[in-house]
Amino acid sequence: MKLVALLNVLLVGTLVVPTVKSDHVRITTDSRLVSRRDCSTSSSRSCSGWWIFKSCSTSYYLSCVVNYFTENYEVRTCEDGWTGLPNCNTPVCLNCKEGQTCINPGVCDCLKTGSTCTNVACSETISCYPGTCIDLVCKCPTLFSGSDCQQSSESAIVKSCEITFKSTDRIIGKTYCAPSNVQPETLWINSAGLDFLQLSSEVEFKSNFPFPNVAYVQQPIQYGIAEAGFQIKENSILQTCPLFNNENPQKSGLCLLDVKISTLGLSTRHGNGFNITSYARVGGNKIGSKASNAFGSTFSKQYFTGGQTSRSSSVKFDNNAPTHCLNNAAADCPTFPIYLKEDIISDPTIQAEVQRWEDADSGVSRYHIDVYKLQPGGASNELENVVSPVWSNDLQAGNNVFSFNLNNAGVYSIELTVFDQANNSAKARNIFIFTNSGNLKVDETKPITIEEIVNNDKNSKTWWVTNANALKPKYFTLLWKDYFISNSKFNDEWNLPVKPLKSGIDDLGSFKKCYGQRNISRFNGLQNGITNYEVAYYVDNFNAGAALNFADSRSYDSTVNRLRLNYTEDIRDGGTLAIQLSCMDVVGAKVTEHLFVRVDTSPPEVYNYTFLVNYPNIYTSSVSFLIKEQDSGLKLINFSLYDGINQNPFKSGSVEPKLRDPPNKNKKIKREVLEGECTESDSTCYCSTLGKCYNYFQTVEIDHCWLDRIKIEQLEMRISAINNAGVSSSEKIAKLNGVTELSCRPGVLILFAILVVIIIFLVRIYMLKKPMPKIMNQAVASMRIMANKSRTADPVSTQNELYSTSLEVTPPSYEQPDQYFDAKDGYIYTDRGMNNALINLSKESLNMKEVISRGKLMVINRASINDDRLKIGSVAVKSLKNGANSKEKDFMNTKVKFFSNLKTHENIVKFIATVQGPYGAMIVMEYCEMPLTKWLEHLEHVTPEVSDEIITFALNISKGVEHLHKCKIVHKRLSVKNVLLTKEFNQYVAKLIGFGPVFDEKASVPVKWLAPETLQTINCSSPTYSNKSDAWSYAITLWEIYTRGSSPYPNTSSHDAMDAIIAGLKMDKPDDCPLIIYEDVMKKCWSTNPTDRPAFSEIVSKVTDYRQGGSLSPPGYYDTGEMKQGCGSGNSGRSSVKVLLD
């Protein structure tokens, strides 16, 4: 065997060494060419000799074969820093000093003094990075410290921190963390429904240290924010963010955590709380590189530890709402949750104050105020909030006073929500009424009366009696039920109960006054908005009440409407019981009436008479008596006609005395004496103590048909005059002699008139069959035939009235009607424009009421119509004043003709009918509620709603003028004064008046409204008026509207304005006027060259376009806008369809 081994050594050349396992041995594989010799041996033996002497010899033979092949083999070496094959367990150190032992590659053990280390050994390749190892000690750079330079002094930044408390569906509260050197503000929240805590912070780290790039440390260095999270201090609960750790530190990032409150074990009861801190810590790691040095030494992962910063927040729980001292019925609580000086207010600026709200825990933070206009709603018809608030605002605690403005009268509620810091809330409400000032008025249909006096004028404030001392004790009973009215809504809509709040202090802010209160119930003792009455009276036997001197008055509440006036002093003839009755309403308005009970025991004086035969016509005679009654005034004249022979009465009646206008007592205002005015120098009239004026001569007319062929020589008239105190004069007898026979108006005239009408009608039919000359079209288009009415039991007219029946013959329209020109009024008429619907009414069908307007020539009354053909309410009646002359009557007939030819339009006041009155024709017109000037006077601010109304009025006016121009009529006097307003579909509509014939065109020239070309020719016989001059006036009218009724060219006289307008002066844009209206309409209408001004069709289009930009249609209606208006025949020109929408 030894030989085999030796051979192997020789052949292979390698000594096989047993393998020793070691962690520091490096094993590699290599290959080499190997030869192997394979040998075989053989032997042969030969012997010679005999058995004992036999000798043998053995011969050996060796035969070998050499084989070659490649062989892999292992190569063992030691790892870097180690030596000592085969195990490689000996470390290698280069800098160990005497007394030190190499314990690891490059690491020497400590120097020992005895058995204790005196110095810590270091090596820059292992433990000192980012520092260096000097004399076996780590020298750390700035910002790092510690034995191994792993402690950093740098810190991260918590840029922001947000703590949110949430329920499952809403955020309950949110707070932000304060820096560590600042005391955090406390977040107060209500823990009811609190489920989740959402923690959010933004952290950032910016290092100022440049790490050295060395071979023995892996690059880059992991260094940044190694930990971030939140700490809840109550129980030191720590919530960390997984994003940040030592293995993978971050330079910045967001830490977001959603935590269920129940998992934290926190107490959220009222009054508890805790702090939450957001923090961030710096850290990281370093790892040695295997290629760190020639000796192969390295080190494992080591960790940095850095500084930590934080931000904190504080949270407390408040589950109780704010309270008011009234909640606890505190004795020292004199104020109200919402204080108003009054609960019925007329000032549109409402001022209120929030008072005495408290919160013992988190404190009151803010107030939210909503102001609602209450309206009836629901089945119970209670007042409630059915629309959005008209005003809202938020006030911070401490800023308790607020104010707001209102425009529309009604019942309002101020609803207050008080919030504390935890957003707990409490509610309170104050209900009040806003009513515009000036509502107090009187109802003349329910006049003041004296119970003991009958048969007196109900509309009079003076009662005449013949004996005021008959009753014992002496007294009169004054009645004024429903005479004074402030606002009827106080009795209906404004007096409805208010729907209670579901929670909160309801209506403790109602402010009690003598008139009661407006709370969620109804008013107490408030009638028609009236608070109280004051009455004073005294007996005056000296000056008949001419100089009033009332003593102290007595006050009575609003339920009183009947009062006995007791007096002790006798009222002599000519004496007076003077009464002062005052009414006060809820807004402080006051109306005072002066009333008089006067004593008159003297009868009227009746003197001479005059008999006029066949006057004022051959069918009527008249008797005039000289009558005087200067005390109580003349009330009635009774007459009877007697057969002078047999002394039998055959006709009796009464006539009212003829009145005259009183004189002008205001000497500062000069005016010309009107016909019918009773001046001091006029000997034909006199005035009573009450100021009523009468003709001395009062006339009774006698219809000859009454007489039935009685001889005048046998006729007597007996009259007696009665004054307002009911005292009658002695009977005066007038013997009517001198004419043997009088003529009664024959009825054959009526037949003759009808025959004439038929002949004219047949002639017209004949003329239609052939071309009609133009001159025929210019013929009179109608004739009026006057005929007597039946003469049975008719009252006698004291105003020479002609009873008449009016028949009109209107020429039919032609396919191409010719125009004709009336020289009297200067207007063009066409058959196409005839308004065939104009109705003729009798005077008896009119019930005349109060005077609306009184001018120099005419007077306008409100009236009602009793005629089956006209089912309408109030109308306006324009008539001439008493004593009109023939020229004025002709002018009135011209106006009737003009308006009978005018086609109706929705933006022009409709002319309904004519009446033949005592002083000429009377015109019955549509009644409108108010003039535009009055609407503008009450306008204080231009709100969006008011702006909508204004642009609607502008469109109405332009459409009205456009219609006039289609009818070839120039308005000439367009201004705000000539625009009336009437309500349609609960919205005001503007309508034009003031156009047409004028009695004296040059009497009053509206200089500031006229175009330059008109002013330049104003003194000519025919001033220049045209459609284009109307456009100029339209722009002036718009300026008036947008300045709320201001006079054009303010602070400029008419004379100076005329020169300025001709020179090119234009007014600036009003503050409330839209720019597009001023630029595209007004300025273009003010073009100096008339041809540059727009036609009204263009104006209507522009204003319509602007109006359609808003929501201006009447609520609930859709206007198709299909207008087929013009000057066509009849009233069928309008085909606008209004459809009621569901």
Task: State which of 29-43, 116-130, 288-302, 1060-1074 shows the largest mean pLDDT.
Answer: 1060-1074
The C-alpha atoms of residue 17 and residue 37 are separated, in whole angstroms, by 22
| pTM given for the model | 0.44
Give the residue-averaged pLDDT of 185-213.
91
Model confidence at 37: pLDDT above 90: no
Lowest-pLDDT range, 258-267, 708-717, 931-940, 1124-1133?
1124-1133
Segment 556-582, tens digit of pLDDT:
887 888 999 999 888 988 889 999 999
Q: Is the pLDDT of residue 368 over 90?
A: yes
* Rounded Cα distance, 531 and 511, in Å: 15
For CA atoms 389, 394, 397, 403, give the dihedral sign. negative
CB 599, CB 577: distance < 8 Å: no
Residue 338, pLDDT above cutoff 90: no
Measured CA angle at 39 (ends 38, 40), to 5 deg: 135
Q: Are 349 and 403 in contact (CB under 8 A)?
A: yes
Whole-number pLDDT of residue 976: 93
Strand arrangement, sheet containing 554-557: 462-465, 590-599, 576-585, 530-540, 554-557
Highest-scoring range by mean pLDDT, 29-43, 191-205, 892-906: 191-205
Which candidate, 595, 565, 598, 596, places its Cα nearest to that of 583?
A: 595
Helices (H) and strands (E) in the chain, counts: 13, 68
What pLDDT, on a 0 to 100 scale, did the predictor assign at position 405? 93
Residue type, 179: P
What is residue 52's predicted lDDT score, i.e. its pLDDT?
66
Q: How far apart are CA 723 and CA 387, in angstroms?
A: 61
φ/ψ region of 954 (left if φ > 0, alpha if ψ in -120 to 50, else beta) reads alpha
131-161 tens-digit pLDDT:
887 767 788 999 999 888 899 999 999 999 9
State the Cα angle at 697 between 693 and 701, rounded to 5°. 115
3-class secondary-structure state, position 366 = strand
Coil vs helix vs strand at 998: coil
Q: Comparing 195-209, 813-827, 963-977, which segment has the lowest mean pLDDT?
A: 813-827
> Does pLDDT of 328 surpass 50?
yes
Mean predicted confidence (pLDDT) in 328-345: 75
Residue 552: the pLDDT is 75
> Tens digits of per-residue pLDDT, 838-848?
678 887 788 88
For the four alpha carbons of 895, 897, 903 and 909, in that order, the dihedral sign comes to positive
Residues 634, 636: Cα–Cα separation, whole Å: 6
Q: What is the token pair recorded at 286?
A: 């370093």
By the 8 A CB rule, do 583 and 533 touch?
Answer: yes
> pLDDT band at residue 771, thresholds of 50, 70 and 90?
very low
Q: How many residues does the chain have?
A: 1142
Q: Kindly report, residue by residue over 78-126, the tens digit of the pLDDT.
A: 887 788 887 888 887 766 666 667 777 766 665 544 433 444 456 545 6
Question: Which of the two residues, 436 and 110, has the higher pLDDT score?
Answer: 436
Q: For position 835, what pLDDT does the model report?
A: 44
Q: Is the dihedral of CA 627, 632, 636, 638 positive or negative?
A: negative
What is the C-alpha separation between 859 and 881, in angstroms, rounded? 6
Question: Exposure pattern of 15-29 as b/e (b: 16+ CB <10 Å)?
Answer: eeeeeeebebbeeee
pLDDT, tens only, 508-519: 433 333 233 466
- Burial of 271 by CB count in 10 Å (0-12 exposed, 13-18 middle, 19+ buried)? exposed
DSSP string over 853-918: EE-SSEEEEEEEE--TT---SEEEEEEEPTT--HHHHHHHHHHHHHHHTSPP-TTBPPEEEEEEET
CB contact at 8 A, 600 and 631: yes
Q: pLDDT digit string (tens) for 588-605?
A: 788 999 999 999 988 999
- At 999 the pLDDT is 76
More confident site: 910 or 289: 910
Higher pLDDT, 760 or 878: 878
Residue 1140, pLDDT > 60, answer no
* pLDDT for 169 beyond 60: yes
| C-alpha dist (Å) from residue 511 to 338, 382, 401, 474 | 10, 21, 17, 43
Q: Please state the φ and ψ torsions of residue 403, each to the nearest 5 degrees.
A: -145, 155
Please check the confidence at residue 1090 and state whether its pLDDT lies above 90. Answer: yes
- Give the orientation angle of helix 944-966 with respect to helix 1096-1107, to 10 degrees: 160
The helix/strand/coil state of 944 is helix
Q: 804-826: per-residue pLDDT in tens?
A: 222 232 322 222 233 333 333 33
pLDDT value at residue 7: 37
The yes-or-no verdict on residue 1142 having pLDDT over 60 is: no
Q: What is the pLDDT of residue 330?
A: 63
Crossing angle of helices 1096-1107 and 1027-1042, rounded to 10°: 30
Between 679 and 195, name the one with better pLDDT: 195
Check pLDDT > 50 for residue 679: yes
Task: Please give the full DSSP string across 835-858, using - where no structure is assigned.
Answer: -TT-EEE-GGGEEEEEEEEE-SSE
So what's the pLDDT on residue 143? 92
If you search the block for the tokens 């830490």, which residue do you land on? 255
Checking if the pLDDT of 980 tops 90, the result is yes
Q: Which residue, 101, 79, 100, 81, is CA-closest to 91?
A: 81
Measured CA to CA, the distance from residue 576 to residue 544 in angstroms comes to: 5
Higher per-residue pLDDT: 737 or 1036: 1036
Query: Which of 145-149, 286-290, 422-426 shows the lowest per-residue confidence on average (mean pLDDT)?
Result: 286-290
> Which of 891-900, 948-957, 1045-1054 has the highest average model confidence (pLDDT)?
948-957
Model confidence at 199: pLDDT above 70? yes
pLDDT at residue 105, as a whole number: 72
- Looking at per-residue confidence, does 221 or 752 come out higher? 221
pLDDT reported for residue 247: 92
Using the 8-state DSSP alphabet, how is residue 241 labeled? -
Average pLDDT of the segment spanning 224-242: 86
CB atoms < 10 A from the CB of 592, how many? Answer: 12
Distance CA 912, CA 877 (A): 10
CA dist., res. 450 & res. 537, Å (int): 14
Do residues 723 and 654 make contact, with C-beta atoms less than 8 angstroms apart? no
